[in-house]
Structure 1
């Protein structure tokens, strides 16, 4: 797998810098010659401009400032790469044997160093944050480096196969208290924000989902920089408001669920998680106070209302008082209200 050092890669590097996870860049060329660069947000473009074509890049966390501990943890034998930053801020590296014969030489190299680190020379033991390959001067990626992809590289490769609007299946793996649902979609953990779980009002994803449940969802976006994939489960279900939109004019009786300054909310479906509509405080002039919907109504009271408008995009349902056959009624749905109280 060859990850190109393109604009997405550098944006990802910038994201690592912003989250204080990455500060060093290894630039390696054919013949194993290497240069090291300290990365900072304000100088990232300047570092990028100095890199040579066809180089293999590796992004690393910072060196350890406890140089003595780094030397104490050297393996008893075997080749290692020692990286250090001297008192002038220059970063260098040397490949050496960590046995006693070369230990003194390694100590001399890091004498007075600000920070240091020991890296394995075995590909499967080197653990950079991410890797990439620079293209040739004409912009074509031709260099064929044999590298062990990092976890970040593998996730990038998987994300490049996804597209916005794509339908995928996955398994619910976690539903923490803050309301986000995490779904494994084949080796990558995507997320479903609470409003995208269900069309109906829920307090927590566990109201309708369980860990281990298989779900079908739509990919809302593929963020290669932050490596996030938001999903929508509800998009694969029928929107109940679009069903109710076909029932404008229907008269229903339902319980009051909420009292607000703008009006009374009434549940218009016969189920515990039924859709609510708003009966607004709008009455024709001269309406007696006791005939207004807000007077004497409590949560749980039953009201008989008419569905007069449905706006699926803004998730709104407007209700009015259902005509009760009284003479002189205005007949205007937005102004006519009736109530049925519990005995």
Structure 2
């Protein structure tokens, strides 16, 4: 017997019957520092947790957020894509972001390498700065000694777009010399 199968056969059977990619609806039951529990509209209740559905932080949104409560709140109705059955915790792992259009792919459809953009510095790190150039789309400008601060406006040029890894490389535009 597998973990939990004997103790909770109805829950095990329900979770085993779900198919990857299937849409699951429910209500946010609890927001914890490690993720969100969702009480699903169908299926049995969980014997220990506030919900059978569980969403990890990366699966909540395509956009960067500081607090989970910036994305969802207890009592809110949500729909997510079923990713898989966690046999250890007896949970339906879900993705809310999979149900939303990816802003990076839409950005990549309309922007070309070499294009000049204006953005806002969102984060300064020892090796460069992250610049938000569209809603939910950030890229890295590699710099040895960044001279800007978070919140500063910045002009950048698209250096590379990696659709598969969802990475955007940005560079500072070359300054013209002379008069």
Question: Which runs of structure 2 are paired with 1:153-172 in the superposition (5 Å)?
Answer: 153-172=9-28
Aligned equivalent of 1:248:
112
Once the 2 structures are TM-superposed, how far is the Cα of residue 210 of structure 1 from its aligned partner? 1.8
Distance 1:226 1:264 in 2: 39
- Is 1:213 the counterpart of 2:68 in the alignment? no
Aligned equivalent of 1:229:
92
Q: 1:231 to 1:295 in 2, by over 3 A?
A: closer
Conserved in 1, the CA contact under 8 Å of 2:124 and 2:130?
A: yes
Q: Greater RCO between the two (CA within 8 Å, min separation 6)?
A: 2
Once the 2 structures are TM-superposed, how far is the Cα of residue 156 of structure 1 from its aligned partner? 1.7
Conserved in 2, the CA contact under 8 Å of 1:277 and 1:316?
A: yes
- Which structure 1 residue ranges, 4+ long, deviate > 4 Å from structure 2? none
Distance 1:312 1:258 in 2: 22
Name whichever of 218-227 and 197-206 sits farther off: 218-227
TM-score by length of 1: 0.45
Conserved in 2, the CA contact under 8 Å of 1:257 and 1:300?
A: yes
Question: Which runs of structure 2 are paired with 1:21-170 in the superposition (5 Å)?
Answer: 130=7, 152-170=8-26
Q: 1:296 to 1:227 in 2, by over 3 A?
A: closer
Over the aligned positions, Cα root-mean-square deviation in angstroms equals 2.4
Aligned equivalent of 2:36:
181
Distance 2:149 2:98 in 1: 35
Aligned equivalent of 1:317:
168
Once the 2 structures are TM-superposed, how far is the Cα of residue 300 of structure 1 from its aligned partner? 2.7
**Post-superposition CA distance 1:273-298 (Å, at most 9, x none):** x422111128xxxxxxxxxxx46323
Distance 1:319 1:201 in 2: 18
Distance 2:76 2:97 in 1: 15
Between the two proteins, the alignment pairs up a number of residues equal to: 168
Distance 2:28 2:148 in 1: 42
Distance 2:37 2:56 in 1: 9
Structure 1 residues not aligned, in runs of 5+: 1-9, 16-58, 60-129, 131-151, 283-293, 329-343
- Is 1:296 the counterpart of 2:147 in the alignment? yes
Structure 2 residues not aligned, in runs of 5+: 46-51
Q: Which structure has greater helix proportion? A: 1
Once the 2 structures are TM-superposed, how far is the Cα of residue 200 of structure 1 from its aligned partner? 0.9
Q: Which structure has greater strand proportion? A: 2
Once the 2 structures are TM-superposed, how far is the Cα of residue 171 of structure 1 from its aligned partner? 1.3
